[in-house]
Amino acid sequence: MKTLQDLGNLKGKRVLVRADFNVPLKGTTITDDGRIKAALPTIKALREQGAKVILMAHLGRPKGQVVPELSLAPVAKRLGELLGIDVPLAEDTYGPSAQSKVEQMQDGDVVMLENVRFNPEETSKNEDERAEYARKIAALGDVFVSDGFGVVHRAQGSNYSVAADLPSAAGLLVEKEVKALSKATENPERPFTVILGGSKVSDKLGVIENLLDKANRLVIGGGMVFTFLKAQGYEVGTSLLEEDQIDTVKGYIETAQKNGIELVLPTDIVVNKGFPAGETPVAPQVVPADAIPSDMMGLDIGPDSCKLFHNKIVDSKTVVWNGPMGVFEVPEFADGTKAVAQGLVDATKAGAFTIVGGGDSASAVRNLGFPEDGFSHISTGGGASLEFLEGKELPGLKVLD
């Protein structure tokens, strides 16, 4: 994979950078600017060389329509604050406004193009459509830098097709992500522990299959754990359950036993009468994992499981975590996710290499107040990091070879 060094001297060059600025918004307020901060090293490195930095990114799912609420204006404003400069936002992606803004750039300037997904061609399945659209964007630049790790698992116009028209390389963020995830999957220091959570087993099937002969220990929590408990014949009440995955999960349990992989499931569960929304009160109870009442819903791992999971994590040399342990947005169901995050922090202090695998896990550690430097690496790409862990070929990386 080519990197910034392979592009040579970039002074005076117009550098198109595909970043990942798909940040959570509340109105026009950014509630987590982690992805913007993650792009700073590449942007600063290019500015120091005297390059003209042209940023492109998406926000939300406008589905090829101009949706004012999904404008990148809040992102341009926040980025300008972080850089201490003005970051103008073009009103389009490659049209008159973008062309005018780029023509006015001086060395070291930064300009942001409007949401690439306002263009239907960006995510088109028609390769020719995407290619024609990408050529219009490519006309704005001299070289292309792919720095949006959160989109490298997709072959889209601004992160894949543009690379065919310009000299291309990975930015510092993508390079860092690949190195970190490779370190955890290609030759991990052992014991190697993988913690998987989140709502659905089906979201993690590929990861489990790929790691069943690589990890030493699989720790399972979140909504997906109830399919594992059901596969063992336990009552799960009204908890989230994927009936169609029970046989698959039984196969995983058998394979783990056969391969000598320690499968760690919670011993106790925090339950509620229902999901705490609307009229459902928050009245948590702790029950054994094999004795969930039929009218109760599991929403977090219990206190004994928190200790168990924490101990398994700190007894590791390499740890990868993807997916919260419960509904961490509700304080009463956040303890499991906190315990796992604290376990990673403690393991890191003890010399382990730890990865928070993006998505909800990354949001959780920030929202729960954990220091970002408490982990070896916090991934910016939930789906991309999952597919990397699955061993899949990511088109946005392959195009940079």
- Is 382 annotated in some ligand binding site? no
- Is 61 annotated in some ligand binding site? yes
Using an 8 Å Cβ cutoff, are 261 and 217 in contact?
yes
Q: Per the structure block, which two tokens stand in for 225?
A: 């754990």
Catalytic pick among 200, 214, 273, 366: 200
- Is 358 annotated in some ligand binding site? yes
DSSP SS3 for 112: strand
Catalytic pick among 359, 374, 382, 396: 359
- Is 117 annotated in some ligand binding site? yes
Catalytic pick among 14, 35, 47, 52: 35
Using an 8 Å Cβ cutoff, are 401 and 2 in contact?
yes
- Is 35 annotated in some ligand binding site? yes
Q: Is 35 annotated as catalytic?
A: yes
- Is 22 annotated in some ligand binding site? yes
Contacts of residue 334, defined as CB under 8 A and 6 or more positions apart, other chains included, come to 300, 326, 327, 328, 368
Strand order in the sheet with 52-56: 110-112, 52-56, 14-18, 143-146, 168-170
- Is 84 annotated in some ligand binding site? no
Q: Which of 132, 143, 174, 179 lies closest to 20 in space, CA to CA?
A: 174
- Is 32 annotated in some ligand binding site? no
Using an 8 Å Cβ cutoff, are 265 and 236 in contact?
no
- Is 154 annotated in some ligand binding site? yes
How far apart CA 394 and CA 45 sit, in angstroms, is 25
Q: Which of 246, 220, 242, 221 lies closest to 231 in space, CA to CA?
A: 246
Locus of tokens 């929403």: 299
Count of all residues that appear for the chain in the document: 401
- Is 198 annotated in some ligand binding site? no
DSSP string, 9-73: --TT-EEEEE------EETTEES--HHHHHHHHHHHHHHHTT-EEEEE---S--TTS--GGG-SH
- Is 190 annotated in some ligand binding site? no
Positions annotated as catalytic residues are: 35, 200, 359, 383
Task: Indicate the annotated binding residues.
Answer: 20-22, 35, 58-61, 117, 154, 204, 298, 329, 358-361
Q: Which residues are annotated as a binding site for ATP?
A: 204, 298, 329, 358-361
Which residue numbers belong to the known binding site for substrate?
20-22, 35, 58-61, 117, 154
